[in-house]
Amino acid sequence: MTDHEVLKEKLREHFAGKIVRKDLTKKMKEGANVPVYVLEFLLGQYCGSD
C-alpha cells in the first residue's frame, strides 16, 4: 500500500462518518442553491466516504 492509501485507511478507521469528499461537494454545488456546509452535512449523513 502507498502512504496515501494508509492515511486514507487510518482516517476511515478513526473518523468513520465524519469524512466528506470535497470533490462530491463541488459537483453538488454546481446545481444546488444551498450553502456548502449544508451539502457537506447531507453528504456526510447519507453518502459513504469511499
pLDDT in tens, 5-45: 899 889 888 887 777 777 777 777 777 788 888 888 887 77
State residue 49's pLDDT score. Answer: 59
**Taking the domains of the chain in order of start, what are their residue ranges?**
3-46
State residue 6's pLDDT score. Answer: 92
Q: How far apart are CA 47 and CA 20, in angstroms?
A: 9
pTM, rounded to two decimals: 0.55
For helices 36-46 and 22-29, the axis angle rounded to 10 degrees is 120
